[in-house]
Amino acid sequence: MTTSSIDGIIEDFELLDNWDDRYRYLIELGRTLAPFPEAERSDATKVQGCASQVWLVSRATPAAAGTRLDFLGDSDAHIVRGLIAILMALYSGRTAPEILAADPAAVFARIGLKDHLTPQRSNGLRSMVERIRADARNAPTAPAH
């Protein structure tokens, strides 16, 4: 799997002129997600508030700069998988304070998705972001020794 950087994704979106191309790119991003373990598909990992089925798990790794969180996600909807890929690029590998300081609304506004998502998808996106932020708030804070 190749995870794109959030800056690279923003640049790619800015190069695409029309929304058909942007949606195709979003679906392509979803295809880059790491395989989601079947064992993780449970009610505990399911994101509530999404019209599609969405699963999200976090893994905390102690590091010198503080605990880093990595995320895995999946959905049964192609566009939602693309949204997950953007969230993974924005949040994975960051510390809890970095995650809590990130402004996903600004990212989605900058690439224009904010105005091109249905209200249901926007609500689902908010639910995914809130789950990621909750995981960051609950992450252990002790740095590695």
Q: Is 2 or 107 the better-scoring residue by pLDDT?
A: 107
User: For residue 142, how far is the Cα from the chain centroid?
Assistant: 24
| Structural domains of the chain, ranges and CATH numbers in brackets | 6-137 (3.90.1010.10)
58 labelled catalytic: no
Q: What is the pLDDT of residues 61-110, one digit of tens each?
A: 887 777 899 999 999 999 999 999 999 999 999 999 999 999 999 999 88
Residues 6+ apart with CB under 8 A from 135: 58, 69, 71
Q: What is the pLDDT of residues 44-64, one digit of tens each?
A: 999 998 889 999 999 998 877
pTM greater than 0.75 (yes/no):
yes
Average pLDDT of the residues in 37-45 = 95
Catalytic residue among 6, 29, 50, 54: 50
Residues 6+ apart with CB under 8 A from 1: 32, 33, 34, 35
Kindly report the average pLDDT of the chain as a whole number.
90
